[in-house]
Amino acid sequence: MENPASGPGAWSSSSRKRRERDEQEETPPDTDATGHSLSLEENFTFSDTLVALRIMRAQFPRIDKVSVRPFILRSQLYSSVDDRTQVDRELESLRREKVLRIFKLNTGQDDHAIMFVDDYLNQIERISKRMEGKKQYDVAVLEWFKIHVISSKLDPSIGHEELCTLLSMGGKVKDDHITLLINAGLLTRQLIDPTMYWFTIPNIGSVLKGLSQGRKELLSFLNRRKYKEMMLAPLERKCLRLSPMDMRFHLRDLIGSGHLKTAKTPSGLLVRVVKE
């Protein structure tokens, strides 16, 4: 018997909620009423998690040669909304409403990425279209995955047996289907338990490498300064050599993860390395 909370009705209901939220937005979220593009200092903190998510999604940097939809790190939200308990509570609510998904990242740290469900489904659709012309791929499993797995399994991970049960609602499941989902970048096996999978964001590998390198580069830059600090405004304008992400992306991440902190001064916000 189908769970009414995870059936097609719930999926269409959550889609309507997302559309209603979209219709409420009249101006681009990273600009003011006059269309002026806001600096990081001008929109550094927010009172609402969804507003913060929308602004950071709009500010996600364009990455050459990598087809990945915008995502936001949980640490970036922690830097932008003062109450971390509020962030976690609102993220959980948005996750259950199927507005967004949360992914555990393979960075060696406790990193989590947040992606709007519409963006994630769009990325799966792109993969499906790319594979359609190749006869060796049974792309029907991508549709099964989208309709039966993504719509009902909201956690960051899933067991092999449950995955096969959900996929079988679309058709007969073969080992090749699971292999295709892994090769497409939608799943990865957990190292500790090979019968469990993490849901993953396709094409994110090179971006994660740049994320780690950019963190090190920014911290190294600030550590070389006399007082290990710099005003936020000029720091935001600097470019990183080793990361495809921009300075704003890395500053929000490192402030939210506690590696950097800010202090208000008469001249504006100061960014300082946190002493270990």
Give me the residue spans of the domains in the chain: 1-202, 205-273
Nearest-angstrom CA–CA distance, 276 and 273: 9
| 14 has pLDDT over 80 | no
Tell me what percent of the residues of the chain surpass a pLDDT of 90: 68
Sign, Cα dihedral of 85, 91, 95, 101: negative
C-beta atoms surrounding 221 within 10 Å = 15
Tell me: the pLDDT tens digits for 135-151?
656 788 999 999 999 99
Token pair recorded at residue 104? 């555990």
- Distance from CA of residue 219 to its chain's centroid? 22
pTM metric for this prediction: 0.83
Mean pLDDT of the chain: 85
Q: Which CATH code for domain 205-273?
A: 1.10.10
Q: What is the pLDDT of residue 34?
A: 41
Residue 170 has pLDDT above 50, yes or no: yes
Buried b / exposed e across 115-126, counting CB within 10 Å, b at 16+?
bbbbbbbebbee
Written as six digits, the tokens of 169 are 């609602």
Q: What is the pLDDT of residues 58-106, one digit of tens each?
A: 999 888 777 889 999 999 999 999 899 999 999 999 999 999 999 999 8
